[in-house]
Amino acid sequence: MSQALATFAGGCFWCMVQPFETMPGILEVVSGYTGGHTENPTYREVCLGGTGHTEAVQITYNPELISYQDLVEIYWQQTDPTDAMGQFADRGDSYRPVIFYHDDQQKAIAEQSKRDLEASGRFDKPIVTQIEPAQSFYPAEEYHQDFHAKNPDHYQAYRQGSGRQAFIDKHWKD
């Protein structure tokens, strides 16, 4: 079986797992930290800043069953691509939106998709999501993994309370 990696940062990683893991061809979705300079950072260290990391999900997928293009389209629909300084209620560098590409093909797909989103006129502000090379990825602590399944009430309250769900409903329900 063919396998590939995709890595996306879109604010709190709790909200980035479920939309991907339910898709055919997704083998695993891991919450973690990437894009920084500290080895094996903890959640506390990332939240306090100074590690350079952002919360992200790393997806192992079968490209014969789901394309990277499809994953990028799912990604856009989970984020506010016009907000460079965080996502929804979560502010700061550790919540910035980034597509981390693993090869030149992923980079080209992400860049074209970003141009297409800008040209669509869906948003009144510029698309500021960064597209950067993938770096070391460090899985988050176990209690963060599959948070939506382990703590469904807390997850739903957070998703609503952060403003994420209302934004998605307003901009992507068509």
Give 21: exposed, middle or buried? Use CB within 10 Å, 0-12, 13-18, 19+. Answer: middle
Whether residue 86 contacts residue 96, with contact meaning beta carbons closer than 8 Å, is answered with yes
- Residue 32 parent element (H or E): strand 26-34
- Spatial separation of the C-alpha atoms in residues 157 and 63, rounded to whole Å: 33
The catalytic residue among 4, 6, 9, 12 is 12
Task: Report the side by side order of strands in the sheet with 137-139.
Answer: 130-133, 98-101, 4-9, 54-61, 26-34, 137-139
Known catalytic residue at 12: yes
Question: Which tokens is 70 given?
Answer: 């499809």
DSSP conformational letter for 22 = T
Q: How far apart are the first and last CA of the chain?
A: 34
Looking at the annotation, which residues are catalytic?
A: 12
